[in-house]
Structure 1
């Protein structure tokens, strides 16, 4: 609902735009305030508030408020709230966290378990047969690939992460049937990652891609785990996308661990933890 308002705002009359900005600025308050206060806050007339609601396709203010309350009932607005130049630290704190939580909740509500289940089964099968898993990513996605290696390495899996394009191409060239390549990309348009994915697939390895829907990479792999979010891939410092990718890796790692079984994993993890004790101060 809020995404639709944001997309439609440029086509509204100036007075209705002020009402739209009031909704986007604080949807919870808008859903609870009477029309008189809403009109005062937006510096418009009461009929303009109602007219805005109808312009957005609702029967009137009451219907709009009811739907708005439902859309924010998860606890945060489902919209990417940009940080403004004059925001205070407290404003930044709220906006950044709201962005993160909104993206994660949206993913929880919209993600399909079917491709995730397929990906987890492929990775678990790769572990059972003793084959190799390679994680590829560039930039921020390269950091996610390293985190993935750390997660799956602890499960006793033979894996490695590459963030260098040349290493990715060389690694993909050495993959074979039974191996698996996991390619992580925010934009899904990075040439090196596309090349590595194509090479791995030609060599018979199963390719799992974690990227935005509709991107070239999304259709290049065997299994696509959609990572869609309101943050543009051309941002200078992606935040939400990176955290969403990390969450997807955590879901995959947990699902694979369950398939391996606690009876096999727990002794290994327990011994690993005991061996690390002397690395910490008492």
Structure 2
């Protein structure tokens, strides 16, 4: 909850930002103080305090303070951050969307543009030299790898995605200098992905890893694209992490397309679109 507030601050009105900063400064005090005291400390009106709580996806100040107290005390099992068992569908909708938006805003504010630039340049060089680009992921991240393969395939890239550990190891063993592997992992601790990354690197391929900072995989690749979020990978099936990984893939695909575009890519994409028209009902 605190991570989400911090990530959302820049998108709030100045007065609501002051309320958010008051929450972050002392969450426990905020949960216990009356609205008059909160408005005085934040130098805002009482309605602004309530408006901030609703901007964060809660019914009002009482609901916000209740959830804040639970978040600060921790130890309560959860399915999705800030979602409770008694929430209505409308509450779940708002909170899931807010969690996702908060994660995206946090990434926008904290992402290393130099790392993204380096990754895009590496991928573009791999494509221009007609070498292989491969995407590895396991479980939920395997779906992201497939999406990445689909996006780069449409750019005319010689690419494939593997989610099976044995196939990853075998394919990594066949790579060499000039090839590139993008390894995607929420936890950064999956043994199969670590093995495949190590093999690809030893064989001379450039390795790009999309994973959480501080994980073993983060230091195993040549280029680390940090994907940090408040979800706990060991507590439930990730939701925000998957969308964050997809976002990073979109950034890379767009950046690579701009680098390799030239005069040949655009006609090919147009031809592809024309050929697909016959597959749709008019």
Normalized against structure 1, the TM-score is what?
0.76
* Contact 1:76–1:102 under 8 Å retained in 2: no
Query: Structure 1, residues 156-200: CA drift from partner, whole Å, max 9, x if none?
Result: 000000000000000100000000010000000000000000000
Query: 4+ runs of 1 displaced by more than 6 Å?
Result: none
Distance 2:44 2:208 in 1: 41
Q: CA deviation at 1:265?
A: 1.2
Cα displacement (A) at 1:262: 4.5
Relative distance call for 1:205 and 1:91 in structure 2 (3 A) is same
| Equivalent residue in structure 1 for 2:19, among 31, 40, 59 | 31
Find the counterpart in structure 2 of residue 237 from structure 1: 237
What do you get for the CA RMSD once the two structures are aligned? 3.1
Measure, in 2, the Cα distance between the counterparts of 1:43 and 1:238.
32
Alignment partner of 2:235: what SS? coil
Return 5+ residue gaps in structure 2 as ranges: 7-14, 21-29, 58-70, 72-79
**2:161 equivalent in structure 1:** 161
* Higher Rg: 1
- How far the C-alpha of 1:3 sits from its partner, in A, is 3.7
Distance 2:33 2:156 in 1: 63
Q: Give the direction of change, closer, same or farther, for the CA distance of 1:44–1:254 in structure 2 (3 Å limit).
A: closer
Measure, in 1, the Cα distance between the counterparts of 2:4 and 2:163. 37
Deviations 1:189-231 (A, max 9, x none): 0000000000000000000000000000000000000000111
- Which aligned pairs between 1:1-282 and structure 2 lie closer than 5 A? 2-3=2-3, 28=16, 31=19, 49=37, 61-62=41-42, 81-282=81-282
Conserved? CA contact 1:173–1:199, under 8 Å? yes
How many residues align? The count is 238
Question: Could you tell me how far apart the structure 1 residues matched to 2:135 and 2:110 are?
Answer: 25
